[in-house]
Structure 1
Amino acid sequence: MEKGTEEVAGVNVLQLTEIIGSAQRDLVGGKAAGLAGLIRLGERVPDGFCVTTEAYGGGEVPRAQVLAAYERLGGGPVAVRSSATAEDLPYASFAGQQDTYLGVTGGQALIEAVEACWASLHTERARAYRQAHGIPHDRVRMAVVVQRMVDAETAGVLFTADPLTGRRGVCVVDAAPGLGTTVVDGAAAVDHYVLDGTEGEGAEGGCLTPARLKELRTTGERIRDLLEAEEPGPVQEQDIEWAYDRDGRLWLLQARPITTLFPAPPPSGKPGARLYVEFGHVQGMLRPATPMGMSTLKSMLAGMLAAFGLTVEIVDIGGRLYGDLTDALRDPSTRQRLVGLMAVDFGPRAQKAVEHLLDDPRFAPMKAPRKRSAAALRTGPKAAVGILGALARPERARARVFGEIERLREEPVTDPATTAELLDLVERDAESSTLADAIVWPVVSGLAVSAALPPLLKGVADEDEIRTVLGGMPYNVTIEMDLALWGVARRAEPYRAMLLSTPPPDLAAAQLAGELPDFGMDAFLRAYGVRSAAEIDVGVARWAEDPAPVFAALANCLRVADPEQAPDRRFERAAERAEAMAAELTGRARREQALRGRLAGFFLRRSRELSGLREAGKFAGLYALRDRRRRLLLIGAQLHARGLLTTADDVMFLDLPELRTVAETGADLRATVAARRTEYERELRRRTVPVALLSDGTDVETLLPAPPSDSRTLTGMGAASGRVPGRARVVLDPSGATLEPGDILVAPTTDPGWTPLFLTAGGLVTETGAVMAHGPTVAREYGIPAVICVPAATERIRDGQLITVDGATGTVTLDS
């Protein structure tokens, strides 16, 4: 029978061979647990012991026990290394955040090194790293690993996948003569090898021979595969520290997951390389979807694409929606158009990534039989009638759109009583999630006329002038929502002190309990309670369930003191500039050619009359998601009452077939739910998401030439005209965010759930997006300068830093 952690409670020192592995992480920390795992796999690891977290909790080094263990090692030089409980985690390595001491000799020096490792847990850099990864300081404890030093001839680091590009199937080795400290501290140049399994790998004159490189590659792959077999789940590529001694023996000094890798695409079963482009950021969502949300989104998106005669395989990678666009990239008739589509619908980052692959021989043009689906044949005539009808009579088209939204809002719905009936209804709705033609074609018409403006006005207007025309756009449901919240703020002035001094979660609880005075919040939530950040995920709570983000935005509105900075005035000014610019551009086109002038005038008018509808389609779809979410939670409550789920919202971490299995057979999937919650929370911490991935895990953007370096100027893409200085407010989650009037919102991305923050923002900077995506569209309509697709903006811009956003040049200047 294996020893459990409870059998060694109170133990201050353990030999590495006594540690059971990950089961004792809380006692020995991540590094010691990893070393014990290597020993258990039969790998060669220097002998040593661990001063446990029990000793750390005592506050004093257990001198006698440590010195006795040191004597058992034979004395001499040892390596003393931190092994905190929050270290070598799957999502945070803590590499270099706590201290290591090499060549420690003698009992007193050893005791002092252990104390120094303990102290390193509380350095400013370690605390900042924990805070960035959401790890509470008071829950971390420190163990210390002591190992016999290896008399290293050569040492370094081995990665079983490329940590820079994400490419699987290769191993990357950095090596240097001696102890290898220059490899991990970056103090000097090292020998760098990328091993893909070809014969004779290794540069002449390097410190590693081809034979040693082959041994390292084989060792890394063996360890990765053994650990995968031991702990089933996604493959955990490994970061392994190693050393060759002067007798040519390979020693392993550490193994931990490569924490920076984005998950690789699942096997497609198709030959050749595949290209996957991320779809979620078009909707302003980079956070992962819950499993139920992903299941719902895949069926909805597949149905929507099928209505247009398109077939795109939708793949879940790291909880994000990716589309397999390989066939379109290889098709000679569509590959160039695909680049243009990326620019309009997916943004410049995706465009550059796809454009780069045009010259990649793996994606060379390939003839394939072209088939037009029956759906495409049916859709063509409907599309023509719908689009031409909207262009001919825009006011009628708008009336149909908003009439349909009102019908969805007011439509009476009933919920069956039994779990089986609820499941049947949810599954049936999931299969028939399509928007009515009354909404689809007016929305498509608005998108089409906006897309037609740049080619129509080529040589007459520049991009910034066209963006000005698209500002202050009427008939936008998201703008109407934001201005409705501004109206609530005006009516809430008598309660200003209370609303500014009470935390949003407390206000939300009071609102739901009916304890707040009536200043319009009830009506606002009746109209817009179906919304939230990441609202396309059915697993996310709506504002009607948790209005805390709305109260946070309301507080921001109450801080606006300058009448000219009021959101309604800013929207009016943007509309006035747009109308004046539309008239100016029409005149310019007419002076060049009368027919061109008439066409320009028509399309500019229609853009003002129809483009604002682009938000209506998504908004209308939220009512079906609201009903689906409510029914899923009812099912969850019933299964929880039967003891089959721990909480009602556990349903969001299953898919529909699994949910039916639980309901009908009583299967216990609580362990599956717990594992998925852990993975979901891990992915929530991820700061960057690749816009384009290859099937081997390569992030395509890492293959592009590096842009010119400028420490003060960040370059993206202008999405809303204007130039404004302000103080950066870096926001990763809109709930509870505070923006003083004029602050520049810096975010990974934005969707309609973020837009209440625009009511006080002076400008917008995002890391991803497209010109016609939700955030930039709303920014234009408020007249807020916006720059999108600024790589790593939330990391390169400090919160509170003074910056200047220039929507015309697509740049962000760091003022200090």
Structure 2
Amino acid sequence: MVPLRDLRRTGVDTAAAGGKAATLGDLLAAGFPVPPGFVVLTDAYEELVAGAGIEAQISRLVAARGPAASDDVRALFTTAPVPADLAYAVVGAWRDLGSPPVAVRSSATSEDLAAASSAGQQDTYLDVRTEEALLAAVRDCWASLWTSRAIDYRAHHQQSGRLALAVLVQHMVGADAAGVLFTADPSTGQRHRAVISAAWGLGEAVVSGTVSTDVVVVDTARRAVVSRTTADKQVLTRARGSGDGGTTEDPVPDHLRHRAVLTDAEALALAELGRRVQEHVGVPVDVEWARDTAGALVLLQARPITALPAPTGDVPTDWAVPVRGGTYWRASIVEQLPDPLTPLFADLAGVAVPRSLRALVDQALGGSPFDDDIRFLTVNGYAYYFFANGAFARMLAATPRALVWLARGEAHTGVRGWRERGHPLYAAQVAAWAARREDEMTHAELLAAAAALLEAGTTYYTAVQSVVPAAVLSEAVFRAVYDRLVRRDGDPPSLDLLLGLDSAPIRAEQSLWDLAEWAHRHPAVAVALRAGRVPDDPAWQQLLHDHLRRHGHVLYSLDVAVPVPADHPEPLLAALRQYLQGHGADPHERQRRAAEHREAATAAVLGRLDPLRREVLVRMLRTAQEAGAAREDALADIGLAWPTIRRFLRASGRRLEAAGVLDDVEDVFWLRLAELEAAGAGDRTPLGDRVAARKEVWRGQRLATPPQLLPQPPAWLRRSLVRAMPGGDEAQTGPVVRGVGASGGRVTAVARVLSGPEDSARLQPGDVLVARMTTPAWTSLFGLASAVVTDVGGPLSHSSIVAREYGIPAVLGTGVATQRLTDGALVTVDGDAGTVTLLPSDGGQDGDDDERVAPGEARRGATWSRSRALLLAGAAAVVVVALCTRRRVRR
């Protein structure tokens, strides 16, 4: 037996007394209000197990049956006799305390650790009052090391090695209230916010979650209560206070049910106590506390908060604009920037994007330059195009000239201009810079090269801007003519004549599939991939290198801080693992079938037309097919420069990390351009704290839903304007999320909300892929998903094109799907109606029409049954607006 006050948070004491007791002993010795007591050390557990000869039986049972062996293992302890000398020592230590009512609590060697708390895995016995009850509680605590939940928890966290349990015996606190305090917000990671739960009675029921609690949030920096929720507390736990002790659950008196357990003053005092504990322990802590009948606060446990997220700043609510006299649009290139911008990209893009746009508009419209009338600004970190009121009016007035300019394919515009001039020029610029060795470049040269490449990329983007509306218009015209003048009952829908075409995203997916097929033929490689490891086979490494050389530049986001597959191939490896497990469909075979169906449908339709109509339809069809394939190829190559940009900037970051300016290479993206230039010029001021603060603000901004238009118009006008924007109405509420039906079919499945490529491994076959937007880099995931839902996009975006190729429903441009749909929720996606319905948690269906389908099996529907006239008008508007204002670029 060891008195609690003699223990410290050392490795030796933790091994002997368990994490809980070692920490409480350390706090008690430091003067914190911890009830006194003693500890039955782990060697007593080992003595019992060895003396009863049950250690081997425990190992066999757990190895064979896992958590299911719990009852049999615990029964071994029931029959194991407690050695007489041990029983005498336990009772003697209790008498030395004055024979009070005590709490008997488990303290395992694997408990209250920074990586895994083991919270609630072992048992506690309260208000123990007799010698017999004390010895029984000690033995039951030892047995609770083998509860089914504890066995499962250790297996999940891969805990192994010496396993033993100490028992902590403390004065029982006669608490009138108790609860849990987190010294940092466990949901947002904010270190300056303490979160307190509180209930009447003892705290054991609070920890186990069996009673309702008040929740109080304290801003510890300002020493102020910032929010509180007072629960309807119907049940409390209290000590029986007689016989062998134990607890009972009683109704909360009526006058206390809706009364706050803690006053503001008490909450502030508790938060301050938690701050002192955190300071003593050195990390944010999860504290179990109680308030005794005299009103004093007592600490019952303190452990590091595990899985605490990185600090997250406040979610912005004020969308005031930095410059007045114009309109802010989240469209066009901004659609490929779903998150707040990192500081360095914001500075570089703030110059490159408007400069390339002004050059395009000046060429298209002529006349005086637009200068600062067109800008690329941020509001709460989110990118917006700013158009001064006068500039917007001038562009609308010059629309006829712009249309002629686009139709002629002048400069690098249109499909022909992109293919013959825009793309070759961009590829040549990238190749020239990529040949440079960063170790032979100065810091200033690295920054200049990154800026030049980014401007080349944004200039190329203007070429893509003209390909997209050309594809929109050619497809819309073909479908309108076909549906109105050609199609008869029984003829295939117009969409069938446009599917199964070759494009860069499809080629990338086929290449990835071929990698999986190669791995299938090489078992050692397949085993490594299935286990989540990168195979060290040289032939495999070369194949992967070749794939990334051809396709590793596709972007998840235009922000250069987001890795491309060439830098971070883990999302591709996650898809490979799924392929190796038998999921997904052969893209070669899918495209072959689609192409055969397209050719057969085309031949059947053309075979009955007169020569004139046949010639007209063939010309329109070929134009639509060519433009559609060109659009996908053009979008896929936007990121050609990004691997080299990131290489140059990371080289700068490595130099600053070596100089002590940055804590990590990747932190270079969180500097302002001026800071990076100053550091390169010799300023060695450490910037780690500044970077950390910016990341915290960014994480809070990322939780916001940015308005698509600023200043925000009146509700009646907003509803009208939002229909012309790539994201839906961010103000919609209710269980149904509405967007644009971009690929037909109806499916009910689990929603998997992905923030970015880092989440790709969470997508399981048959899940509904939910994301802010998708780019060609996401294509490999479409083969696993049963449906696609995005915040941004429309019927001619990349998402819709690929979804139709796969035959899965797609609802795009919802504006709020990633905010409104909870990860893991059951939803029905209706690609025909353009709706996503959140279903009750019990999975109830809303009728027999719901279909649960495997990926690629969703039925195609009449997505395009809306008015063709509206489609034509919308397509024409896209031509004008995309050219003149760069809105609505489709991925």
Same fold per superposition (TM over 0.5): yes
Q: Given the alignment, which residue of 771, 776, 795 partners 2:824?
A: 795
CA-to-partner distance for each residue in 1:692-720, whole Å, 9 max, x for gaps? 499xxxxxx99997749xxxxx9998653
Aligned residue for 1:136, secondary structure, equals coil
Shifted more, 625-634 versus 608-617: the winner is 608-617
Map 1:201-600; keep pairs closer than 5 Å.
205-206=255-256, 212-223=262-273, 226=276, 240-254=287-301, 257=305, 263-265=311-313, 294-300=342-348, 302-303=350-351, 309-310=374-375, 312-313=377-378, 322-323=381-382, 372=388, 389-390=405-406, 393=409, 394-399=414-419, 400-408=421-429, 410-411=431-432, 413-416=434-437, 418=439, 421-422=442-443, 424-426=445-447, 429-430=450-451, 433-434=454-455, 435-443=457-465, 446=468, 472=499, 477-485=504-512, 495=521, 500=526, 503=529, 509=535, 513=538, 515=539, 523-531=546-554, 538=561, 540=563, 542-543=565-566, 549=572, 553=576, 556=579, 566-569=589-592, 572=595
Cα distance between partner residues in 2 of 1:244 and 1:35: 17
Aligned residue for 1:433, secondary structure, equals helix
Cα RMSD (Å): 7.0
CA-to-partner distance for each residue in 1:511-530, whole Å, 9 max, x for gaps? 6x4x3599x76654331133
Query: What residue is the counterpart of 2:647 in the other structure?
Result: 630
CA-to-partner distance for each residue in 1:272-293, whole Å, 9 max, x for gaps? 999xx9999965989xx9xxx9
Q: Is the 8 A contact 1:746 1:793 kept in 2?
A: no
Unaligned runs of 5+ in 1: 1-11, 316-321, 329-369, 584-597, 695-700, 709-713, 798-802
Q: Is the 8 A contact 2:464 2:634 kept in 1?
A: no
Cα distance between partner residues in 2 of 1:193 and 1:646: 37
Deviation at 1:438, TM superposition (A): 4.2
Q: What is the aligned residue count?
A: 693
Which structure would you say has the larger Rg?
Answer: 2
Seen in structure 2, the aligned counterparts of structure 1 residues 127 and 248 have a Cα distance that, compared at 3 Å, is same
Report the AA paired with residue 33 of structure 2.
R
Q: Is the 8 A contact 1:543 1:550 kept in 2?
A: no
TM-score norm. by structure 2 comes to 0.56
CA-to-partner distance for each residue in 1:727-783, whole Å, 9 max, x for gaps? 99999978996999xx4245564654442243x436235697655876565323433
Seen in structure 2, the aligned counterparts of structure 1 residues 398 and 31 have a Cα distance that, compared at 3 Å, is farther
Seen in structure 2, the aligned counterparts of structure 1 residues 396 and 272 have a Cα distance that, compared at 3 Å, is closer
Query: What residue is the counterpart of 1:118 in the other structure?
Result: 145
Deviation at 1:150, TM superposition (A): 0.9
Map 1:588-627; keep pairs closer than 5 Å.
619-627=636-644
Q: Is the 8 A contact 2:528 2:534 kept in 1?
A: no
Report the AA paired with residue 46 of structure 1.
P
1:101 aligns with 2:125: yes
Deviation at 1:417, TM superposition (A): 6.3
Deviation at 1:213, TM superposition (A): 1.4
| Identity percentage of aligned residues | 24
Q: Is the 8 A contact 2:216 2:227 kept in 1?
A: no
Report the AA paired with residue 312 of structure 2.
A
Q: Given the alignment, which residue of 808, 816, 819 partners 1:784?
A: 808
Cα distance between partner residues in 1 of 2:22 and 2:516: 54
Query: What residue is the counterpart of 2:780 in the other structure?
Result: 756
Query: What residue is the counterpart of 1:690 in the other structure?
Result: 703
Deviation at 1:406, TM superposition (A): 3.4
Deviation at 1:564, TM superposition (A): 9.6
Cα distance between partner residues in 1 of 2:752 and 2:317: 45
Cα distance between partner residues in 1 of 2:286 and 2:217: 14
Q: Is the 8 A contact 1:155 1:242 kept in 2?
A: yes
Query: What residue is the counterpart of 1:587 in the other structure?
Result: none
Query: What residue is the counterpart of 2:61 in the other structure?
Result: none
Deviation at 1:151, TM superposition (A): 0.8
Q: Is the 8 A contact 1:762 1:785 kept in 2?
A: no
Cα distance between partner residues in 2 of 1:78 and 1:467: 79
Q: Is the 8 A contact 2:735 2:838 kept in 1?
A: no
Deviation at 1:396, TM superposition (A): 2.0
Q: Is the 8 A contact 2:499 2:598 kept in 1?
A: yes
Seen in structure 2, the aligned counterparts of structure 1 residues 715 and 252 have a Cα distance that, compared at 3 Å, is farther
Shifted more, 551-560 versus 475-484: the winner is 551-560
Deviation at 1:627, TM superposition (A): 1.5
CA-to-partner distance for each residue in 1:445-477, whole Å, 9 max, x for gaps? 6279869999x99xx99xxx9996998496853
Map 1:668-687; keep pairs closer than 5 Å.
none
Shifted more, 111-120 versus 613-622: the winner is 613-622
Cα distance between partner residues in 1 of 2:632 and 2:12: 50
Aligned residue for 2:779, secondary structure, equals helix
Aligned residue for 2:255, secondary structure, equals coil
